[in-house]
Amino acid sequence: MRMMTRMRCCAVLGGLVWWISTAAAHFPFIVPENNSKAVVVFSDNLAPDTNVNIEKIADTRLTLRQADGQESKLEWTKGMGCYQVTLPAGELRVVYGVTEYGVLQKGEAPPFRLIYYPKAVLGNATDPRATVGGKLPLEICAEGKAGEIRFRVLRQGQPAAEAEVTILLPEGGKQTVKTDKEGYTPVFRSNGRYGLWTRWIEPKKGEHAGRTYAEIRHYATLVCDINDK
């Protein structure tokens, strides 16, 4: 009886640890505020989390890509629970970044290198020019049209099959899906703002900032607006 009780307690504790680690998962999102401004948050949704030290992502390198393919570096200023970015005018603008979070280790598990790739599209998110491509080891893109939108995960510029993607839906809530053999998610019908993230664990050993690691954990995020215009 004691053994069964102990096993139940372990199971509950294990589930609690899993729930806490899942619930506490934060990602850098580039969130457009209007046509000329965006904020970069480190959160589990698209709103700033003022309980988290935003300087954890202070080393993010941001790039602006214009419709003609020209790219330039972006600077930001620190705000309340976020970083603020001013953007030039343009028909289509893609803001993407690389966040070298560092080498981490959880318990006795092997250390891993954590890298984030946040991205946002201002303008037509399904425009082929909104795809960064091989410059990003992991990327999420939007394809289709309003009412028939789907997302594609690219890994080193190639479609990523069986990738797990979590979507923050325009109507609220979230949904987790897997991509098909061509890297596509199922179709989504709602218009509005989407936020997404996906992960790729690369079994690659190396050294970063004086610390060795056994694998690289890549996370990509995307924020975009889908509408009928």
Q: Kindly report, residue by residue over 20-48, the tens digit of the pLDDT.
A: 343 458 999 999 999 999 999 999 999 99
Residue with tokens 């979590």: 166
CA dist 161 and 184 (Å) reads: 8
**What percentage of the chain has pLDDT greater than the value 90?**
87
Q: pLDDT grade, residue 228 (50/70/90)?
A: confident
CA dist 114 and 105 (Å) reads: 10
Burial of 161 (0-12, 13-18, 19+ CB in 10 A): middle
DSSP secondary structure code for residue 20 in this structure: H
Contacts of 210 (CB under 8 A, 6+ apart): none
